[in-house]
Amino acid sequence: MKRALVGLLVIGLIACESAADKADRFFLKGNVALNEGRLEEAVRMYNEAIDKNPSLKEAYNNKGVALYRDGKLEEAIDTYTDLLFNVDAYYMEARRNRLDAYLDNRDMKNVAKELKFFQDAYPDSSWVYMLRGIAMIKTKSYGMARLNFARALEMEPDNAENLVNIANTYYYLKRHDDATVYLDSALKVNPDLASIYNTKSMIASSVGNYERALEHSNKAISLDPTNPYFYNNRGFAQLKLGALDEAERDIDIAIRGDIYNGWAYKNKGIFYNLKGDYESALRNFQLAVKYDSAVEQLHSYYGDALYELGRTDEACKQWKISFDLFENEGRESLEKFCK
């Protein structure tokens, strides 16, 4: 009899569970799936949570994060917009996430609108200057980016993320010593910030120290295993070290995480060059040019693939672009193979 009563009690408790409680259970399951990288399952759980509780803003936001990480930028933007329009227009985490999605989607018109919203809502905020700097980096306006980050740093000197942002602007300007100074400052503030090690990896690769680059990338990924850009940088180091299978896995993760990442398509093209599959390499280099024609050494590798296919005139045009960007690789090939 006691067992029967216990069974009835459990059934009664389940029956009495509110819609909000059910939503919370699905939300937590979604978080577990998101943290484990099971992105489609995470989206499914968040949809269940939203169905049970349409005002659970955290479920919308995390659903957007899962879609964003899965490379589904338009769907992520729609999810954030649904949340902001129908649930909470001032949920700033979702607005920041939507700004990231707009940036990756190269939607600069909406980026400008979003930045104006932040500026109006938080005048003279270091956070807003950081956002503006990040937007400037996306448009390769590195000088303007650095000015915005410097303004943010004046207002918040111990912000490790912002110190890394400044380091990144110096990296893109090929001023590695200056970048390292800011990275070392960031390390003193927060030694567990993954982006510090990612930028250190990029600097190491730029000077040909691929073993060190791999070490830094491994550290970055251990601290943040969900960032696709970290995998791309590790993939490049692995390409240079001859670990092609490992490199391909990492580069594919990077492409799935951002289907507009020109750096990742460049690396996939290098992978195919090393495999001797120059037609596949060309397709990836063409995608890289489509999404970001200024990717470092892209035109040099692109020219290499064309040359191997006997298309020397086209190869010389690519090497000339590389030469005009002050890249030694393009200059050497241009002088050796082109009249």
pLDDT tens by residue, 318-331: 999 999 888 888 88
DSSP state letter for 316: H
Q: What is the mean pLDDT of residues 139-168?
A: 90
Cα-Cα end-to-end distance for the chain:
96
| Integer-rounded Cα radius of gyration of the chain | 23
More confident residue, 244 or 126: 244
Q: What average pLDDT score do residues 8-21 get?
A: 59
pLDDT at 1: 40
Percent of the chain with pLDDT over 90: 60
As a dihedral over the C-alpha atoms of residue 12, residue 15, residue 17, residue 23, rounded to 10 degrees, the angle is 150
Distance CA(314)–CA(312), nearest Å, equals: 5
Q: What is the pTM of this model?
A: 0.74
Please give the structure tokens belonging to residue 215: 């070490």
Mean pLDDT is lowest, of 65-69, 162-166, 263-267, 325-329, for: 325-329
Choice among 70-74, 97-101, 166-170, 276-280 with the minimum mean pLDDT: 70-74
pLDDT-derived band at 205 (thresholds 50, 70, 90) equals very high
Query: Does 19-102 match 260-339 in CATH topology?
Result: yes
CA dihedral sign, ordered 59, 62, 64, 70? negative
Sequence-distant (6+) residues with CB within 8 A of 223 are: 192, 193, 194, 197
| Averaged pLDDT of the chain | 89
**C-alpha–C-alpha distance, residues 339 and 336, integer Å:** 8
CB 193 within 8 A of CB 177: no
Q: Does the pLDDT value for residue 17 go beyond 80?
A: no
Q: Which fold has domain 260-339?
A: 1.25.40
Strongest mean pLDDT among 106-120, 134-148, 259-273: 259-273
- CA dist., res. 150 & res. 87, Å (int): 35
List the chain domain ranges: 19-102, 260-339
How would residue 303 be classed by pLDDT, with cut points 50, 70 and 90? very high
Tell me what pLDDT residue 2 has: 42
Structure tokens at 192: 């567990």
The correct answer on CATH 3.40.50.2000 for the domain covering 19-102 is no
The amino acid occupying position 329 is: E
Q: Is the pLDDT of residue 10 over 60?
A: no
Q: If pLDDT is split at 50, 70 and 90, which confidence band does 3 have? A: very low
Task: Pick 164 or 10 by higher pLDDT.
Answer: 164
The pLDDT, as a whole number, for residue 24 is 87
